[in-house]
């Protein structure tokens, strides 16, 4: 059975001290009022080693926002998947639209990152999604298909089954403009059908597909109620415990 997940992506926010305070406050809130879904916080690299020991592992998992496409060596400034794993982190966001758009991450580079993450026991949260012009031209299915094909179709079904997907329409990220529940369900169902065709129905049924893009406490319940939306990847609202917990609580009756 696939899992319901609410994952926070802190992006490039919070100093180390602020990040520790945020993780501590979230941990307190969720230990006293336990979530009904898996909760993950993805933090900047430098926070990982400090945040993993202060959260209750049974309630909050920790992830990175990226990792290198090389295993080790002379790659100044890069952080490898094995380094991420050595902090106690269990997840890594890969293919975020900001990495694709601002740092030139191609499907081929992302393929390497996925393989290294899996080889080091990390679960990739692999992001896909179209820009506004592509949505307006009705090309969103084609775009997500190509993103999946370019980085993930080469995996075995066993390896693919270890991946979490996040559909994040770029036009909804940080814009306050959310996909409607119908738009989200439609493309999530399409993504699941692509997985079923490539890796089989059982793998598709067990893949968690998260929605991301201006997800808030006020719209999370409606989005997550869709049969093919298994939770969210949360940016801005993950920086406030009240907002993040409000989204997590969307999985409560
Ligand atoms: P916002 O929730 O701020 O729109 O960001 C979504 C996102 O990019 C998460 O990865």
- Contact in structure between 154 and 196 (CB atoms under 8 Å): no
Q: Which of 57, 45, 138, 58 is nearest to 85 (CA)?
A: 45
Per-10-residue mean pLDDT, the chain, length 253: 96 98 98 98 98 98 98 98 98 98 98 98 98 96 98 98 98 91 97 98 98 96 98 98 98 89
Q: Is the CB of 223 under 6 A from ligand 1?
A: no
Q: Exposure pattern of 91-123 as b/e (b: 16+ CB <10 Å)? A: bbbbbbbbbbeeeebebebbbebbbbbbebebb
pLDDT on residue 76: 98
Residue 236 CA: nearest ligand 1 atom is 3
Q: Is the CB of 125 under 6 A from ligand 1?
A: no
Cα(82)–Cα(73) distance, rounded to whole angstroms? 12
Tell me how many degrees the CA angle 74-76-80 measures, rounded to the nearest 5: 80
- Contact in structure between 47 and 12 (CB atoms under 8 Å): no
Sign of CA dihedral 68, 124, 44, 218: positive
Q: Is the CB of 63 under 6 A from ligand 1?
A: no
Does residue 182 carry a catalytic annotation?
A: no
Q: Is the CB of 9 under 6 A from ligand 1?
A: yes
Q: Which of 129, 151, 150 is nearest to 212 (CA)?
A: 129
Instruction: Encode pLDDT of 33-75 as tens digits.
Output: 999 999 999 999 999 999 999 999 999 999 999 999 999 999 9
Does residue 96 carry a catalytic annotation?
A: yes
pLDDT on residue 67: 98
Q: 196 by DSSP, 3-state: which?
A: helix
Residue 238 CA: nearest ligand 1 atom is 2
Cα(73)–Cα(253) distance, rounded to whole angstroms? 50
pLDDT on residue 138: 96
pLDDT on residue 246: 98
pLDDT on residue 177: 86
């Amino acid at each position: 059975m696939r899992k319901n997940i609410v994952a926070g992506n802190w992006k490039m926010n919070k100093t180390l001290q602020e990040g520790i305070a945020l993780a501590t406050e979230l941990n307190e809130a969720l230990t006293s009022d336990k979530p009904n879904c898996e909760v993950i916080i993805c933090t900047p690299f430098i926070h990982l080693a400090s945040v993993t020991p202060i959260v209750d592992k049974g309630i909050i998992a920790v992830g990175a926002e990226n990792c290198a496409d090389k295993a080790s060596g002379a790659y100044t400034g890069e952080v490898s998947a094995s380094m991420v794993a050595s902090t106690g982190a269990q997840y890594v966001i890969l293919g975020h639209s900001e990495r694709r758009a601002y740092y030139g991450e191609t499907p081929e580079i992302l393929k390497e990152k996925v393989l290294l993450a899996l080889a080091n026991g990390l679960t990739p949260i692999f992001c896909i999604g179209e820009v506004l012009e592509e949505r307006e031209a009705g090309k969103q299915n084609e775009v997500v298909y190509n993103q999946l094909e370019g980085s993930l179709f080469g995996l075995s079904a066993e390896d693919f089954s270890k991946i979490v997907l996040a559909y994040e329409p770029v036009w909804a990220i940080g814009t306050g403009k959310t996909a409607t529940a119908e738009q989200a369900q439609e493309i999530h169902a399409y993504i699941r059908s692509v997985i079923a065709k490539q890796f089989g129905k059982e793998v598709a049924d067990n893949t968690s597909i998260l929605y991301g893009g201006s997800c808030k406490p006020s719209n999370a319940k409606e989005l997550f109620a869709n049969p093919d939306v298994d939770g969210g990847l949360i940016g801005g609202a993950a920086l406030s415990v009240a907002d993040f917990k409000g989204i997590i609580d969307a999985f409560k009756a």
